[in-house]
Structure 1
Amino acid sequence: MFRRKDDVFFLLDQVSDKVTRNELLATANAYLHKYGCFEISELHRQFENRLNRICIRNVEDFESFYQQIAQSGVRCVAAPQVGNRIARYNNGNVQTSFEAITKSIIIFITESCYGSCTEGNLHNEFQAFSADLLGKLIRIFAENELICVEINDSICYQSFETLGLPQNFADTLITILDRLDEIGLPPSQEVLHTAISLELGVNFRTEFSLPNWNTFRRLIASCFKGEPRREWKNNIFLGGER
């Protein structure tokens, strides 16, 4: 019997047929073996049309159902740093799994996709995770390798090398920041963006499809090679004493 959290009981065969349950478990186990974890909502999405919607009304019901039929040694938890609900081995380390998954993402984008991949293609390659979670992993664990851009109204992930920045951009950035320091103008994101745009003769964010200020700040932090090192504080790119 399957007991839902609202204390309503169903026979397992009311929820789904045995073939579906076996395929669901086989898919889940394959994800666990490959990645060490998977996202509950994605497994639900893949099987929801084969489950009785009266019994399994939402992702929460599905998680309860999966936990009942899953192999021992698997837990469903809110993943640290991202919050998405995942299934993992009891003795598994989510941080280690996420770092390994992100390395696979980087390799896939840089090698298989030649440095540029749409959000949809990335999700098709890593079907154990939602586009939302994949984006979070990139922002947290690949901030110095990949960047999110918007091309023709589509979200894409690119390596910094494929953005098409001028070859001397790192030197140009140092020069601009030195000038701003000389005139006592704090390099806020808006001021720095304007200065870069004037230097390059283009609207920098528009030209390189940077969808938001967070993406702009990540790009600047990655490209800056000067001394002393700088970091963003309250949207100002501050440096230490020389």
Structure 2
Amino acid sequence: MSENALKETVIRLADPVVRSLGLVIWGVEVVQAGRMAVRLFVDVPSGAPESPQAADGEKNEAPSSASIGQCEEISRHLGLALEVEDAVPSAYVLEVSTPGLTRLFFSLDQMRPYLGDMVEARLHAPVAPEAAAGPADCGGAAPRRLWRGRLAAVEADAFVLEPAALSPEGEVSPEGLPPVRLPWTAVRRASRMYIFRQPVKPGKGPGKGSGKGSRKTPGKSAGPVPAHGEASPEAK
């Protein structure tokens, strides 16, 4: 089974239980390094209405993300369904989690609510800003496979980044380059960058802290777990 076919199978098998819990599928990632990892990301629907008011009149806020218990329930159902269909021919690990703060983007529509945020894009081939496609010594920018910058626009078939660097203290500094337009078909992996700003300690100015500027903050997760959700180290 091809990677795309496997993703479609995971979505088909997971969708009923995900919907029954009031959630939506954000995307599926298949990682081939070492033992295969099949990662399903689930989220609350965008624009989900708030829960009705409680009996005492206080408003119950709608959950901001799926719970660990929900991820575990989805993992159990999906793991069993994959086993029944024998969808994965080799040993694998199934992971079910929320997208988290550093969420991967699986479509351009998913990027639209994050205009102005920092985004990291890894490409299949190097791309240069269109307005700076000349030689680097003539003021142009060299093509890159990795671009980081503020998400400036999302088009029908591409998105635009304003190139920027992130300091270890979490400060965003524009690179002074023209915006770079990245066709979606050229993107291998695009994700939101979570900016963690280190608090300035007394007696220390900006730039003197020892913390990391951007750290990956995982979402709630039920994985990694074996494919059928048991404690066995082997999925098959």
Structure with higher Rg: it is: 1
> Larger % of strand: which?
2
TM range (shorter): under 0.3
> Larger % of helix: which?
1
Q: Taking structure 2 as the reference length, what is the TM-score of the superposition?
A: 0.28
Instruction: Answer 1 or 2: higher relative contact order, Cα 8 Å, separation at least 6.
Output: 2
